[in-house]
Amino acid sequence: MRIAVTLTSSLSVGEQYLTLAESFAEQVAARGHGLVFGGTDYGMMKKVADAYLAAGGRDLVGVMSRQLEAVTVGYRAHEGLQTAVWVETMGERKDEILRLADGIVILPGGWGTFDELATFLAAKANKMPGADKPIAFLDGSGFYEKLIAFLDDATGLGFSKIALADIAFRAGDAKEAIVAIESYAKVNLPDKFA
């Protein structure tokens, strides 16, 4: 199976976030899975790719956007990619990551990660074709605690019939996140208009 990851590209974060990302990549490789990611050779994405390959990973898939390349200094594909996929727009990039992945793990991140997690969660909640895939927040550091509480409150207030727990798992470590992806059983979500 292929597991996609979304996370920050920044290295200006605490050591615990670097360790969490590398541990995740090592676990993906150790369990024999492919890794789908943003594909680039800088920052945290490079760390994840390097850790995956160093742990024996053999299916590193990068999905990159010409749109982002045009506005990002130093944007280039990681040299260790087994598969490099170039698309035009950031929207196409998210669609392609979702298409290629059997599951998605969300690590701590910034604006790009927030965009991706909202897209993947909303696609699943709205029953979009090809979106019924396991999603796990890898939240060993408590980074997403307030966001998860906010989303739970929104459901409690009636803004959605779909609880976050029905479309995503919360995992405390890398192994737990991957096991949740591996053991996923489809959930029959309610119809939002019924």
Buried b (16+ CB within 10 A) or exposed e, 108-129: bbeebbeebbebbbebbbeeee
| pLDDT at residue 71 in the model | 94
Tokens 């790009």, residue located: 112
Number of domains in the chain: 1
Examine residue 104 and state whether it is found in any structural domain, yes or no: yes
Of 155, 158, 168, 166, nearest to 116 (Cα)?
168
Q: Tens digit of pLDDT per residue, the chain (194 long)?
A: 999 999 998 999 999 999 999 999 999 999 999 999 999 999 999 999 999 999 999 999 999 999 999 999 889 999 999 999 999 999 999 999 999 999 999 999 999 999 999 999 999 999 999 999 999 999 988 999 999 999 999 999 999 999 999 999 999 999 999 999 999 998 888 887 76
- Give the span between the Cα atoms of 57 and 30, in whole angstroms: 7
Q: Which two tokens stand for residue 42?
A: 């800088």
pTM of the model as a whole: 0.94
Examine residue 118 and state whether it is found in any structural domain, yes or no: yes
Tokens 């604006």, residue located: 111
| pLDDT at residue 33 in the model | 98
Examine residue 87 and state whether it is found in any structural domain, yes or no: yes
| pLDDT at residue 187 in the model | 82
Which residues are 84's β-sheet partners?
A: 62
Q: Which two tokens stand for residue 41?
A: 């050779």
- CATH no. for residue 134? 3.40.50.450
| pLDDT at residue 194 in the model | 67
| pLDDT at residue 193 in the model | 74
Domain, as residue range, for 91: 2-182
Examine residue 125 and state whether it is found in any structural domain, yes or no: yes
Examine residue 193 and state whether it is found in any structural domain, yes or no: no
Of 58, 120, 51, nearest to 83 (Cα)?
58
Query: Which helix (H) or strand (E) element contains residue 34?
Result: strand 34-37
Are 70 and 102 in contact by the 8 Å Cβ rule? The answer is: no
* Separation of CA 150 from chain center: 20
Examine residue 192 and state whether it is found in any structural domain, yes or no: no
Examine residue 190 and state whether it is found in any structural domain, yes or no: no
Examine residue 188 and state whether it is found in any structural domain, yes or no: no
